[in-house]
Structure 1
Amino acid sequence: MNWQQACELPYYGGADLGATWSPAQTVFKLWAPTASAVELQLFATGTDQEPGAAGLAEHTMQPAGDGVWSVTVPGNLNGVYYLYQLHFPDGHTAAVVDPYARAAGANGQRGMVIDLDAAQPDDWAEDRRPSIPAHARAVWEVHVADFSADEHSGVPEAWRGKYMGFVPEDTTLDGDGEHPTCLNYLKRLGVTHVQLQPIFDFATVDETRPGGYNWGYDPLNYNVPEGSFSTDAFHGEVRVRECRAMIQALHRAGLGVIMDVVYNHTYHTDSWLERTVPGYWNRRWANGNMTNGSGCGDDLASERPMVRKYLVDSVLYWAREYHIDGFRFDLMALEDVDTMNAIRAALDALPGGQEILMYGEPWTGGGTNLEGGARPSDKRALDALSDRIGFFCDDTRDAVKGNVFDAANAGYVNGAPQCGYDVLHAVAAWRSGARGFRPRQAMQVVQYVSAHDNFTLWDKLAAVARRGDYDAADSDLLGQNRMAAGICLTCQGMPFFQAGEEFGRTKYGDHNSYQGPLSTNRLDWRRACRPEFAALTSFYRGMLAIRRAYPRLAGAYGEQEPFILALPGWLIGFVPETEGNDPVGQLVVYYNPERTRQWVSLPSGTWRRLCDGTHAGTTPFGPLCRDALELEPRSVTILVAE
Structure 2
Amino acid sequence: MNWQQACELPYYGGADLGATWDREHTVFKLWAPTASGVTVQLFATGTDAEPGAAMQGEHPMQPAEDGAWSVTVPGDLNGVYYVYVLQFPDGHGATVVDPYARAAGANGQRGMVLDLNSAAPEGWQQDARPDIPPHSRAIWEVHVADFSADEHSGVPEAWRGTYLGFVPADTTLDGDGVHPTCLNYLKALGISHVQLQPIFDYATVDETAPGGYNWGYDPLNYNVPEGSFSTDAFHGAVRVRECRAMIQALHRAGLGVVMDVVYNHTYHTDSWLERTVPGYWNRRWNNGQMTNGSGCGDDLASERPMVRKYIVDSVLYWAREYHIDGFRFDLMALEDVDTMNAIRAALDRLPGGERILMYGEPWTGGGTNLEGGAQPSDKRALDRLSDRIGFFCDDTRDAVKGNVFDSSNAGYVNGAPQCGYDVLHAVGAWRSGARGFRPRLATQVVQYVSAHDNFTLWDKLAAVARRGDYDAADGELLAQNRMAAAICLTCQGLPFFQAGEEFGRTKYGDHNSYQGPLSLNRLDWRRAHRPEFAALTAFYRGMLAIRRAYPRLAGAAGEPEPFLLALPGWLIGFVPETEGNDPVGQLVVYYNPERTRQWAALPSGSWRRLCDGTHAGTTPFGPICRDALELEPRSVTVLVAE
Q: In the TM superposition, what whole-angstrom CA distance separates every residue of 1:7-29 from its partner, at most 9, and x where no partner exists?
A: 00000000000000000000000
**Distance in 1 separating the partners of 2:366 and 2:560:** 36
CA deviation string 1:244-268 (max 9, x = no partner): 0000000000000000000000000
Amino acid at match of 2:449: V
Residue of structure 2 in register with 1:349 after alignment: 349
Hey, what's the Cα distance between the residues in 2 that align with 1:438 and 1:28? 47
CA distance in 2, matches of 1:471, 1:255: 30
Distance in 2, matches of 1:259 and 1:560, equals 30
| Deviation of the 1:67 alpha carbon | 0.3
User: Superposed, which structure 2 residues align to 1:311-322 within 5 Å?
Assistant: 311-322=311-322
1:280 aligned partner = 280
Whole-Å Cα distance in 1 between the matches of residues 249 and 178 of structure 2? 21
Residue 203 (structure 1) aligns with: 203
Return the alpha-carbon distance in structure 2 between the equivalents of residues 563 and 126 of structure 1.
Answer: 45
| Residue in 1 that maps onto 2:609 | 609
Q: Deviations over 1:157-177 (max 9, x none)?
A: 000000000000000000000
> Who is 1:101 aligned against?
101
Q: 1:65 deviation in Å?
A: 1.3
DSSP-derived class of the 2:617 partner: strand
Give the secondary structure class of the aligned counterpart of 1:288.
Answer: coil
User: Which AA in structure 2 matches 1:113?
Assistant: V
The offset of 1:153, in angstroms, is 0.1
Q: Distance between the aligned counterparts of 2:196 and 2:577, measured in 1?
A: 34
Task: Tell me by how many angstroms 1:113 deviates.
Answer: 0.1
Residue 567 of structure 2 corresponds to 567
Q: CA deviation at 1:238?
A: 0.1
1:296 and 1:68 mapped to 2: Cα distance?
A: 29
Aligned to 1:427: 427
| Whole-angstrom CA distance in 1 between matches of 2:583 and 2:11 | 60
Give the equivalent residue in structure 2 for 1:7. 7
After TM superposition, the score normalised by the length of structure 2 is: 1.00
Q: What do residues 149-200 of structure 1 show as CA deviations (whole Å, max 9, x unaligned)?
A: 0000000000000000000000000000000000000010000000000000
Query: Are 1:188 and 2:188 matched, yes or no?
Result: yes
Question: In structure 2, how many angstroms separate the alpha carbons of the residues matched to 1:512 and 1:344?
Answer: 31
Partner of 2:76: 76
Q: Cα deviations across residues 68-114 of structure 1 (Å, max 9, x unaligned)?
A: 00000000000000000000000000000000000000000000000
Q: In the alignment, residue 547 of structure 1 is paired with which amino acid?
A: R
DSSP-derived class of the 2:446 partner: strand
What CA distance in whole angstroms lies between the structure 2 residues aligned with 1:51 and 1:188?
A: 46
* Matching of residues 257-406 of structure 1 within 5 Å: 257-406=257-406
SS in 2 for 1:38: strand
Deviation at 1:332, TM superposition (A): 0.1
Mapped to 2, the partners of 1:18 and 1:579 lie a distance apart of 53
What is the distance in 2 between the residues matched to 1:187 and 1:599? 38
Match of 1:67 in 2: 67
- In structure 1, the partner of 2:518 is 518
Local SS of the residue matching 2:103:
coil
Identity, % of aligned positions? 89
Distance 2:187 2:275 in 1: 44
Distance 2:581 2:115 in 1: 60
Once the two structures are TM-superposed, the CA of residue 57 in structure 1 deviates from its matched residue by 0.1
Superimposed CA distance per residue, residues 285-328 of structure 1 (whole angstroms, 9 cap, x where no aligned partner):
00000000000000000000000000000000000000000000
Structure 2 counterpart of 1:590: 590
- Mapped to 1, the partners of 2:78 and 2:560 lie a distance apart of 55
Matches within 5 A, 1:494-573: 494-573=494-573
Aligned to 2:464: 464
User: Equivalent residue of 1:107, what SS?
Assistant: helix
AA of the residue aligned to 2:233: A
Shift of 1:486: 0.4
* Cα distance in 2 between the residues matched to 1:49 and 1:567: 71
Q: Using the alignment, how far apart are the partners of 1:600 and 1:376 within structure 2? A: 44
| Residue 141 (structure 1) aligns with | 141
Aligned residue identity for 2:499? A
Tell me, in whole angstroms, the C-alpha distance in 1 between the residues paired with 2:592 and 2:104: 54
One-letter identity of the residue aligned with 1:494: L
The 3-state SS of whatever aligns with 1:284 is coil
Residue-by-residue CA offset, 1:9-62 (whole Å, 9 max, x unaligned): 000000000000000000000000000000000000000000000011000000
Distance 2:332 2:560 in 1: 28
In the aligned structure 1, how far is the partner of 2:581 from the partner of 2:626?
19
Pairwise CA RMSD? 0.2
User: Could you tell me which residue of structure 2 aligns to residue 153 of structure 1?
Assistant: 153
Q: 2:35 aligned with 1:35, yes or no?
A: yes
CA-to-aligned-CA distance 1:119-177 (integer Å, 9 cap, x gap): 00000000000000000000000000000000000000000000000000000000000
Identify unmatched segments of 5+ residues in structure 1.
none
- Write out the 4+ residue segments of structure 1 that deviate beyond 2 Å after TM superposition: none
Give the aligned partner of residue 91 of structure 2.
91
SS in 2 for 1:58: strand
Number of residues of Structure 1 aligned to a counterpart in Structure 2: 642
1:216 maps to what in 2?
216
Q: 2:46 and 2:79 mapped to 1: Cα distance? A: 10
Distance 2:22 2:534 in 1: 52
- Residue 634 of structure 2 corresponds to which residue in structure 1? 634
Q: What SS is found at the alignment partner of 2:267? A: coil
User: CA–CA distance in 1 between the matches of 2:344 and 2:187?
Assistant: 29
Aligned to 2:230: 230
CA–CA separation in structure 1 for the residues paired with 2:250 and 2:501 = 20
Distance in 2, Cα, partners of 1:342 & 1:439: 19
Q: CA deviation at 1:522?
A: 0.0
Q: Is 1:436 aligned to residue 436 of structure 2? A: yes
Distance 1:338 1:367 in 2: 19
CA distance in 1, matches of 2:486, 2:76: 57
> Residue 288 of structure 1 aligns to which amino acid in structure 2?
G
Alignment of 1:485 with 2:485, yes or no, is yes
SS in 2 for 1:258: strand
Q: Note if 1:417 corresponds to 2:417.
A: yes
| Structure 2 counterpart SS, 1:321 | helix
Q: Give the Cα separation in 2 of the matches to 1:518 and 1:558.
A: 42
Q: Which SS does the other structure have where 1:443 is aligned? A: helix
Code of the residue aligned with 1:422 in structure 2: it is D
Partners of 1:413 and 1:301 lie apart in 2 by: 41
- Distance, in Å, in 1 between the alignment partners of 2:58 and 2:374 is 41
Quick check: 1:448 aligned with 2:448?
Answer: yes
Structure 1 equivalent of residue 44 of structure 2: 44
Contiguous gaps of at least 5 residues in structure 2: none
Residue 629 (structure 1) shift:
0.2
Q: Distance in 1 between matches of 2:582 and 2:84?
A: 69
SS in 1 for 2:490: coil
CA distance in 2, matches of 1:267, 1:232: 23
- Give 3-state SS (helix, strand or coil) of 1:66's partner: helix
Structure 1 residues 433-481: Cα deviation after superposition (integer angstroms, max 9, x where no partner): 0000000000000000000000000000000000000000000000000
Answering whether residue 576 of structure 2 is matched by residue 576 of structure 1, we say yes
Q: Secondary structure at the match of 2:45?
A: coil
Equivalents in 2 of 1:571, 1:361: separation in Å? 30
> CA–CA distance in 2 between the matches of 1:581 and 1:292?
56
